[in-house]
Amino acid sequence: MTILILSISALPARAQISPGELSQPHAFLEGIKNCLNCHKLGSGPSAEKCLECHREIEVRMKQEKGFHYVVVNDGSQSCFSCHNEHAGRGFRLINWPDGRKNFDHSTTGWSLQGAHAVAECRQCHKPALIKDDLSAHRSSINLKTTFLGLRDECVSCHTDEHRGQLSDDCTGCHGVETFEKAPGFDHHNAKFRLTGKHENVTCDKCHKSVSDKQPWDKNDRFTRFAPVPHDNCKRCHSDPHEKQLGECASCHATSGWRDVADANFDHSRTHFALVGRHSQVVCEQCHGDRPRSEPIRFDACTSCHADPHQGQFASRPDEGRCDACHNESGFAPALFTAEDHAEATFALTGAHLAQPCASCHVAVTTASGTTFEKFRFQRTDCAACHRDEHHQQFAPKTCEACHIVDGWHSVDFVHDRDSSYKLDGEHRGVVCSGCHVSVGADGGSFIRYKPIDPSCETCHADKSDMRLGG
């Protein structure tokens, strides 16, 4: 009976040495012939046997990387500590003791930080992001369920928004909280250091959004970070000088367009080269506190200089251009020579040639209080300048009737010709002042020439005096 029962029970019992069904992923290993695929005689289930199939794990173990290496390396755990078997088809071969969301990812050698910590597992662990060729290790591996194959470089999961323009070390600039900010980036470490106003402009002013027109990427736009040509300012800035002044930095500083480096500025590159005294004046004297770049008129000297002549020369053919008489060497002396004066309304001759200008061109003050040297005269006769020393004795005769321009004392006066009193006799030897004596007192004194009573008694008071003539 025993033999009978054993024989009957042996039929269904065939291949039932197994202590229970294998889990679904290992169901293909079911059967008595497959025991030694996982078990080693004399030593139970063997990790080596596991790794014979799970080459993808074996590779990681050899590389001394990954979760399995970490948890097995200390010797406290084996494959079977977590991955039991023979617990039925429905057995979850991968167990998450604290729930998958609470898995301590740092045990994989890569701790989840920042935004990674709140991401769903399959946001990263998905076939599209698996870069390692896991199927080369195990053809049956399911990329939808595996947690292997990811790499720890940021760009293995994240699109390189910079399109390879920058270093692969994303964390050098970006944190793990958000991509938008780059707390680790310091433009001072870039080839183009930000100084002055550049420190305050938004990134997109210089780093433009461009398109790479890649069909594989929905977001075909990226920001151009490098190369951004920065060899000269005009790469970004327009040139208001229209290429006339060369390198911007030779004058301008990054602290502001208006902050022209005065000392370095070569004014000769402008339309108004500074020569003579102009080269010695400080910028503010002409530009004031206005921006250096703000154009100022320089077509006439009066653009900057006040007309000390108060427009007296405006009626000249050249409309009184200053440079007709002056240059940058200084306002005085003027370039106006005696020869030039000969061309003027009043040519200088005689003693006039020896006179300093100011003798005639004296300072006058207008009713409004403006003082200027007078160059424009209503009259050019002698009396316009000279005082009538004769106190109207010869009126209406003019000075030229007797005097010439060679000098006051060069008189063209012939007593017998030009006077009604003829000199004869002893009178011829008498000096002028013998008859023409000073009259009046103080400032009002003058020499009396006429009228003089022609009678002798006018000059001769007594006889004895008469002898003076004899």
Partner 1 sequence: MKLISFKGFLHSMYVLGFAFVVMVALSGSPYYSLAPTDRPHHDMHSTLKPGGLWGHALGIVGSSMVLLLLLYSLRKRQKFGLRHGRLSRWLDIHIFFGVVGPLLITLHTAMKFGGIVSISYYSMVLVALSGVFGRFVYMQIPRDSTGEALGLEGASKRLDEVRQSVAGRLPEDALAGIDRFIGESTVFPAKGGVSAIVMTIRHEFAMPMRTRRLARFLAAGKQELPHSDIQQIVRLAKRQAVLIRRIAMMDTMTRLLHYWHVFHKPFAYIMIAIMIVHVAVAVSFGYTWVF
Helix axes 55-62, 66-73, angle to 10 degrees: 70
Residue 2 binds partner 1, judged by CB under 8 A: yes
Residue 1 binds partner 1, judged by CB under 8 A: yes
* Total residues in contact with partner 1, by rule CB under 8 A: 28
Least gap, CB of 67 to partner 1 (angstroms): 18
Residue 6 binds partner 1, judged by CB under 8 A: yes
Round to whole Å and give the CA distance between 305 and 320: 14
Residues in a beta bridge with 223: 209
Given 21, 132, 160, 328, the residue binding partner 1 (CB under 8 A): 21
**Is the Cβ of residue 52 or residue 465 nearer to partner 1 in the bound state?**
52
Nearest to 165 by CA among 217, 200, 208, 116: 208
Round to whole Å and give the CA distance between 415 and 395: 17
DSSP E strand stretches across 321-427: 363-365, 371-373, 403-404, 407-411
**Is the Cβ of residue 18 or residue 107 nearer to partner 1 in the bound state?**
18
Given 73, 77, 95, 264, the residue binding partner 1 (CB under 8 A): 95
Round to whole Å and give the CA distance between 441 and 423: 28
**Is the Cβ of residue 7 or residue 455 nearer to partner 1 in the bound state?**
7
Least gap, CB of 4 to partner 1 (angstroms): 8
Given 41, 263, 358, 431, the residue binding partner 1 (CB under 8 A): 41
425's tokens: 């006799």
Greatest alpha-carbon pair distance for the chain in Å reads 211
Q: 51: Cβ–Cβ under 8 A, 6 or more apart, which residues?
A: 57, 58, 61
Residue 88 binds partner 1, judged by CB under 8 A: yes
Q: Which stretch binds partner 1 (CB under 8 A): 5-13, 171-179, 268-276, 434-442?
A: 5-13
**Is the Cβ of residue 10 or residue 353 nearer to partner 1 in the bound state?**
10
**Is the Cβ of residue 97 or residue 470 nearer to partner 1 in the bound state?**
97
Round to whole Å and give the CA distance between 157 and 150: 8
Round to whole Å and give the CA distance between 301 and 185: 54
**Is the Cβ of residue 5 or residue 306 nearer to partner 1 in the bound state?**
5
Q: Which stretch binds partner 1 (CB under 8 A): 80-88, 129-137, 153-161, 322-330?
A: 80-88
Residue 42 binds partner 1, judged by CB under 8 A: yes
Residue 9 binds partner 1, judged by CB under 8 A: yes
User: Which helix H or strand E contains 438, and what residues bound it?
Assistant: strand 438-439
- Contacts with partner 1 by CB under 8 A lie at 1-2, 5-6, 9, 13, 16-21, 35, 39-45, 84, 87-88, 90-92, 95, 97
